Structure formats: C-alpha cells, structure tokens
C-alpha cells in the first residue's frame, strides 16, 4: 500500500529563516523517497555582514519579521489542512533564534491535533542527502551504512559513526572554532566579505590558475597527526592573523597576496577535514563517507572527499548545494525519521530549545 506523508518544517537555528513542505513517500512500511513540494528561505547575510558574523538579537528580530512571510510563500497554493506533521528545529543553534521558530509553531497550532516533531539540526544536515537523489530507506541502509558522517558548517564540525538512522556514535568534534567559523574569521582578517567561505574559495581558485605564483604561504594543519578525531581551527586563524600583521600595507592589499592567503587557508582546512574523516571511515569500517552542512558545498572539499573515497573503495554522499546551507527541507526529512522513532509531541507547548544539542 502506498502512503504519502506531508511534513511542514521550520528552520530558524541561526540567520536563515526557512519554511518547507516535504512529501515522504512510503510503500508498505518502507520509505521510498522524499519530494520537496516547496522550500522557501529568507537570508540575513547582508544584515550581519557588517558584524563579520551573526548578531543573535538582530537575527531573532529578523526571524520574527520574516517567518510569517516565508510561511505564506511556502504554503501558497497548498491546503495546510493536508499537513500530517509539523517539524521544528530545537537545537543546536542560537537560543533566541530557536525559540522564535518554536513560538511560531505554538501560535500556528494552538488547538490543532497535528503532531509536532522536534528536530536535531546536525542530524538534519546529514539526512539532507536523501534530497540529493530519490533514495529509499532500505537502499540507504544497505549501500551506505555504517558510515563516517561529517557535519561541517559555520557553527559545527562534528564527526560521528552512523550505525543506522537515529543511532550515532560521536567520534570527534572541534575544540574551538568550527571550520566555517575559521573561514569567516580569516576572511575578516583579510578584509573580505561575509560569509567568508565563498570569498576565500573564489580567490583560492584564481591562485590555483596562476602558472608561476610569486607568493607562497604555508600554515599549520592543526591536530592533523593526532590519533583522535577532534578538530581545532583557532590556531590556523591565529597563524593567519600574525602572518597578515607582518605584511606591509602594499603587500597586504595586493591581489596576489590575498589569493595566496585564501589558497593556503582553504587547503589547510580541507586537508584536516579530509584526513580526519578518511581515518575515521577506515578505522570504524564504514561503507561510506556522508557529509552535510554549509561547508560541504565547498568545491575543493567535495573534490578531495571524492578522490579519497574512490581510492579506498568507499561510497560518498554529498547534498546538493541548495541543501548544504541551513534549510527547512532537511528539517522535514529528519522529522520523518524522528516521527518513526516516536519523538513527536501532541502539544506544541511541550517543545523546548536545546542550543547545545549534539548528535
């Protein structure tokens, strides 16, 4: 028997306001795949650019202003009465922002009998891979699990073993700055825009195309050779800062210098992410490497993970770029599995934020 479950999801963990309707298609008791009916978002990048990062109070204010508009856009032409489940990010993230989404759900569903599913944002980043291609739960489990999963974004760098959907073993995480945070902070040091990842990546590509670059820079690869699976990127940020301060103004502002700095920063971050993830995959006898999060959209990281996965006969799953950044579609996917695990609540007033939630 075929069954369709419509999930309306809301994501407000940081600075992106997103609302999505996701359709889960079942055959018998097995998930056959997901279809994104709508996925609308409102970005606050320009607002926070002047701060070089997300300012929580402003982010909360913008979520409150944007949520009704984004909700209306996502549900336009769709009968909301057909929604079977509501989903909301409860953590990790910025507490004021998380509560904005939770409060909105509570206002929308004061007397509704529909269930609400609290969603772990980190798990959702990994499960966003279900949206990369139509893949069912049975195929996912047989082909890709167990997996070494890397959640890498502006706020998180977490490596864990994924035994099955909903069963995770934390292997390592960043001890200070996340990889995306390192991109943002080093970009700010160099006087580049926010967010820093795309800015640095673009300049790094230009440097790579130079046949005989006059400027060559070398930075440390933090914790690369340690036997654990933890990360640390604050040392790389500090090395970039001290190196930059030593430069004469005419050098620090030159095109080739900025390209060389960007190239080395991107290479250093990527080297560490790839090496640690590959080591974890081999040591825990994984069938695949699965990644997700904003930094997983980085072209160099995707290329290097692909090369290493192929070399060691590992499968690789990466989300489409549109589902790497924070988005509500991935929240809908994670909510489906949370519902199957019995995590839904009947009263939305029972929802609580957990800003420090881990996998």
pLDDT (average), residues 196-213: 92
In a domain, 356, yes or no: no
**pLDDT for position 51:** 65
Using a cut of 0.75, tell me whether the model's pTM lies above it.
Answer: yes
**pLDDT for position 358:** 87
Residue 242 shares a structural domain with residue 277: yes
**pLDDT for position 132:** 83
Residue 297 shares a structural domain with residue 334: no
CA distance 349 to 326: 24
Residue 335 shares a structural domain with residue 209: no
Q: Which two tokens stand for residue 55?
A: 């300012």
How many other CB atoms are found less than 10 A from the CB of residue 54?
A: 21
Q: Which two tokens stand for residue 141?
A: 């489990």
Contacting residues for 294 by C-beta, under 8 A, at least 6 apart: 152, 153, 154, 180, 195, 197, 324, 325, 326
Contacting residues for 114 by C-beta, under 8 A, at least 6 apart: 83, 84, 85, 86
CA distance 334 to 344: 12
Bridge partners for 36 per DSSP: 22
In a domain, 153, yes or no: yes
Lowest mean pLDDT among 5-9, 33-37, 106-110, 261-265: 106-110
Residue 180 shares a structural domain with residue 309: yes
Q: Percent of the chain beyond pLDDT 90?
A: 84
Residue 77 shares a structural domain with residue 207: no
Give the number of domains in the chain: 2
Are 280 and 161 in contact by the 8 Å Cβ rule? The answer is: yes
Buried b (16+ CB within 10 A) or exposed e, 299-324: ebbbebbeebbeeeebebbbbeeebb
Mean pLDDT of all residues belonging to the chain: 94
CA distance 88 to 103: 10
How many other CB atoms are found less than 10 A from the CB of residue 138?
A: 12
Bridge partners for 168 per DSSP: 162
pLDDT (average), residues 173-180: 96
Q: Which helix (H) or strand (E) holds 16?
A: strand 16-27
Residue 44 shares a structural domain with residue 169: no
Bridge partners for 292 per DSSP: 151
In a domain, 338, yes or no: yes
Are 231 and 175 in contact by the 8 Å Cβ rule? The answer is: yes
Lowest mean pLDDT among 53-67, 290-304, 328-342: 53-67
User: Has residue 121 got a pLDDT over 70?
Assistant: yes
Q: Which of 25, 120, 40, 104 is nearest to 73 (CA)?
A: 40
pLDDT (average), residues 328-336: 98
Q: Which CATH number do you get for residue 215? A: 3.30.420.40
Per-residue model confidence as pLDDT tens digits over 56-115: 888 899 999 999 999 999 999 999 889 999 999 999 999 999 999 999 999 987 777 899
Report residue 134 CA to chain centroid gap.
Answer: 20
Q: Percent of the chain beyond pLDDT 70?
A: 97
Residue 233 shares a structural domain with residue 253: yes
Residue 173 shares a structural domain with residue 102: no
CA distance 101 to 19: 10
Give the domain range for residue 328: 2-132+323-350
pLDDT (average), residues 160-165: 97
């Amino acid at each position: 028997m075929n069954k369709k479950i419509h999930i309306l999801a809301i994501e407000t963990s940081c600075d992106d306001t997103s609302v999505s309707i996701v359709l889960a298609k079942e055959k018998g008791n097995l998930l056959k795949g997901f279809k994104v009916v709508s996925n609308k978002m409102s970005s606050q990048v320009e607002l926070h650019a002047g701060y070089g990062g997300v300012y929580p109070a402003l982010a909360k204010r913008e979520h409150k202003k944007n949520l009704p508009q984004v909700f209306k856009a996502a549900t336009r032409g769709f009968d909301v009465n057909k929604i079977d489940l509501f989903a909301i990010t409860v953590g990790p993230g910025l507490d004021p922002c998380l509560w904005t989404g939770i409060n909105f759900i509570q206002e929308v569903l004061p007397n509704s009998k529909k269930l609400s599913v609290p969603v772990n944002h980190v798990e959702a980043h990994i499960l966003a891979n279900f949206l990369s291609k139509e893949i069912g739960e049975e195929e996912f489990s047989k082909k890709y699990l167990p997996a070494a999963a890397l959640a890498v974004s502006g706020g998180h760098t977490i490596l864990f073993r994924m035994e099955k959907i909903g069963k995770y073993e934390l292997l390592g995480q960043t001890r200070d700055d996340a990889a995306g945070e390192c991109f943002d902070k080093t970009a700010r040091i160099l006087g580049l825009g926010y967010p820093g990842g795309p800015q640095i990546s673009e300049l790094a590509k230009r440097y790579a195309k130079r046949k005989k670059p006059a400027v060559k820079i070398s930075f440390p690869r933090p914790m690369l050779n340690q036997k654990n699976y933890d990360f640390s990127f604050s040392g790389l940020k500090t090395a970039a800062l001290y190196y930059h301060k030593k430069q004469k103004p005419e050098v620090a502002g030159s095109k080739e210098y900025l390209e060389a700095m960007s190239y080395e920063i991107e290479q250093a971050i990527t080297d560490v992410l790839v090496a640690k993830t590959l080591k974890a995959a081999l040591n825990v006898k994984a069938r695949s490497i699965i990644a997700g999060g904003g930094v997983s959209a980085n072209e160099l990281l995707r290329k290097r993970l692909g090369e290493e996965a192929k070399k060691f006969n590992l499968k690789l799953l990466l989300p489409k770029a549109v589902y790497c950044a924070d988005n509500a579609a991935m929240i809908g996917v994670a909510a489906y599995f949370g519902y199957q695990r019995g995590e839904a609540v009947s009263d939305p007033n029972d929802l609580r934020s957990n800003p420090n939630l881990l996998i």
